[in-house]
Amino acid sequence: LEYQTWLQRMVPAADLRAPPEVTEASTPPADGLSGLELLRQLCQAARPPSPPRRRAPAPLTEEEQELADSAIYGDGSPNEVLASRFSVELTREKLQCLRPRTWLNDEVINFYYKLLQERSNQAKDAPKCWFTNSFFWNKLSGGPEKSNKDYNYKEVRRWTTKAKIDVFEMDYVIFPMNIGEMHWAMGAIDIKNQGFRYFDSMIKSPHPNFVPFLRRYLVDEHKTKKSKDLPDPDAWDLLVMDPPVPQQTNGYDCGVFTCFFGDRFSAGRALDFEQEDMPELRVRLTARVVKADENWL
């Protein structure tokens, strides 16, 4: 259990799903295993019984496969720009994180969330969403260097002004979260249902400050932008995810899960994917990022 112990030490607030009792015969030997493989086996043992299979994502198209293959396996300089939009340039080297069994970087995740914002802006019947980048939660909470225990509204006070949005006119505020600089998850402020949602493919519950800090953020945002108090702030609480969010069984797909949590939730769709869909969804994610166009439906 070395990797699990290390993970708990690095993110002490993480509520890891406790593995069921295992017999000596069913426990895989740890000798010679990489950290990622050991994490994969620990997560596999910790998973609750699988619910009935969700409706699977649509099959990959030829174009998606070709775009992805060219980007991550094709010839070319590591410095070649393969995706350019939002004043961001993603090079071939930056996109190598989309190869199989690789942890996604923040550049790719934030770029994809910008595409989701553009899609949301154009959608007529979908929820109204504002997507922040992956720095929102750590700016608000002090980040891992302060164990996410240092609330700081000043760090994000101007974000809505710059984005020219009123969070209280949104249905959802959606943000990717870098947990301890080693894991990706997604948070959401559900304005419509007056609560907070936490989407995590590995950790059961959010940081203890997730709800109180987001609640304080809404209080401060309402006071600052509307010059009056937020009505009944204590009523805003963590909302139960039903059905539970899909779970990963390895140590590297959390970023892909996080991208498609945002993709489905912001469109008002069910989370219709599982671990077995990750290889194909990596390809789809790569193609969408390279194409840099939100009109993929």
Helix (H, G, I), strand (E, B) or coil at 190: strand
Extract long-range pairs of 27-33: CB within 8 Å, 24+ residues apart. Answer: 30/2
What is the tally of helices (H) and strands (E) in the chain?
9, 7
Q: Which residue among the candidates 254, 259, 263, 277 is catalytic per the annotation?
A: 254
Q: Which residue reads 């498609």 in tokens?
A: 260
H/E stretch holding 185 reads: strand 183-190
Q: Is 183 a catalytic residue?
A: yes
| Spatial distance between the Cα atoms of 127 and 171, rounded to a whole number of angstroms | 6
Q: Which residue among the candidates 43, 183, 190, 253 is catalytic per the annotation?
A: 183
Tokens of 173: 């505020």
| Spatial distance between the Cα atoms of 71 and 62, rounded to a whole number of angstroms | 14
With a CB cutoff of 8 Å and minimum separation 6, the contacts of 96 are 72, 102
Q: Is 106 a catalytic residue?
A: no
Helix (H, G, I), strand (E, B) or coil at 192: coil
With a CB cutoff of 8 Å and minimum separation 6, the contacts of 164 are none
Q: Which residue reads 């109204």 in tokens?
A: 128
Q: Which residue among the candidates 171, 200, 253, 277 is catalytic per the annotation?
A: 200
Helix (H, G, I), strand (E, B) or coil at 140: helix
Q: Is 254 a catalytic residue?
A: yes
Sign of CA dihedral 158, 138, 261, 66: positive
Catalytic residues: 183, 200, 254
